[in-house]
Chains A and B, each alone.
Chain A
Amino acid sequence: MNTYRKILREGLWDNNMIASQLLAMCPAMAVTATATNGLGMGLATTAVLVASNTLVSSIRHLVPSSVRIPIFIVLIASLVTLVDLALNAWLHELYKVLGLFIALIVVNCGILGRAESFASRASVPRAAFDGLAMGIGFTLAMVAIGAVREIVGSGSLFAQAQLLLGPAFGFLELRLFDGGALLMVLPPGGFLVLGGLLAAKRALEGARRRKGAVVAQSA
Chain B
Amino acid sequence: MIGHQTLERLRPTIPFQAAMLALTVMLASAALSVADRVTRRPIAEAVAGDTRASLAQVLPPGSFDNDPAADVLNTSDGGIPVTVHVAHKGGVPTAVVLATSTRGYAGEIGLVVGISREQRVLGVRITHHSETPGLGDKIEIAKSDWVASFAGRHLSDPEPAKWAVRKDGGVFDQFAGATITPRAVVAAVKRGLALYRREHEQWFAVRKP
Name the contact of B46 in the complex, choosing from A71, A75, A89 (C-beta under 8 A): A89
The stretch from A56-64, A128-136, A166-174, A203-211 touching chain B is A56-64
| Cβ contact within 8 Å between B32 and A71 | no
Q: Would you call A66 an interface residue if the criterion is a C-beta within 8 Å of the partner chain's C-beta atoms?
A: yes
A24, CB-defined interface residue at 8 Å:
no
Q: Return chain B residues, CB-CB under 8 Å to A67.
A: 17-18, 20-21
CB neighbours of B80 from chain A (8 A): none
**Which of B36-44, B83-91, B107-115 is the contact stretch?**
B36-44
Whole-angstrom CA separation of A218 from B32 in the bound complex: 63
Q: How large is the interface on A (under 10, 10 to 19, 20 to 34, 35 or more residues)?
A: 20 to 34
A162 within 8 A of B: no
Which residues from 73 to 111 on chain A have a C-beta closer than 8 Å to any C-beta of chain B?
A: 74-75, 77-78, 81-82, 85-86, 88-90, 92, 95-96
**Contact across chains for B133 and A85 when beta carbons are under 8 A apart:** no
In the bound complex, do residue B132 and residue A186 qualify as a contact, i.e. CB atoms below 8 Å apart?
yes
A139 at the interface (CB under 8 A from B): no
Selected contact of B133 from candidates A33, A86, A96, CB within 8 Å = A33
**Most chain B beta-carbon contacts within 10 A, residue among A71, A90, A153:** A71
Bound complex: CA of A180 vs CA of B134, how far in Å?
A: 9
> Are B43 and A85 closer than 8 Å at their CB atoms?
yes
B31 within 8 A of A: yes
| Contact A78 B46, CB 8 Å, known A64-B12, A71-B24 | no
Q: Are A71 and B135 in contact, with the CB atoms below 8 A?
A: no
Contact of B35 among A62, A85, A95 (CB under 8 A): A85
Interchain CB contact under 8 A, A89 and B39: yes
A70/B135 contact (C-beta < 8 A), A64-B16, A81-B32, A85-B35 known:
no
Interface status of B92 (Cβ within 8 A of chain A): no
Residue of B nearest to A185 (CB): B133
Provide the bound-state CA to CA distance between A154 and B133, in Å: 9
- CB <8 Å contact, B20 and A182: no
- Closest B residue, CB atoms, query A95: B46
Q: A64-B12, A74-B25 are in contact. Are A182 and B35 (CB under 8 A)?
A: no
B interface, CB within 8 angstroms of A: 4, 7, 11-12, 16-18, 20-21, 24-25, 28, 31-32, 35-36, 38-39, 42-43, 46, 49-50, 132-135
4 closest pairs, A vs B, by CB?
A: A89-B42, A89-B39, A92-B46, A78-B28
Beta-carbon contact of A62 and B25 below 8 Å: no
- Chain A nearest CB, measured from B33 CB (Å): 11
- Chain B nearest CB from A123 CB (Å) reads 15
Give B28's nearest chain A residue, CB to CB: A78
- Smallest beta-carbon distance A149→chain B, Å: 11
Q: Which residues of A contact B11 (CB under 8 A)?
A: 64
A219 to B32, CA, bound (A): 62
CB distance from B35 to the nearest CB of A (A): 5
B-side contacts of A153, CB under 8 Å: 134
Asked whether, in the complex, the Cβ of B7 is within 8 Å of the Cβ of A61, the reply is: yes
Q: How far is the CA of A82 from the CA of B49 in the complex (A)?
A: 22
A82 to B33: give the CA distance in the assembly, Å. 10
Least Cβ distance of A120 to chain B in Å? 13
Complex alpha-carbon distance, A74 and B29, angstroms: 9
Instruction: Determine if B43 and A81 form an interchain contact, defined as CB atoms under 8 angstroms apart.
Output: no
Residues of chain B contacted by A92 (CB below 8 angstroms): 43, 46, 49-50
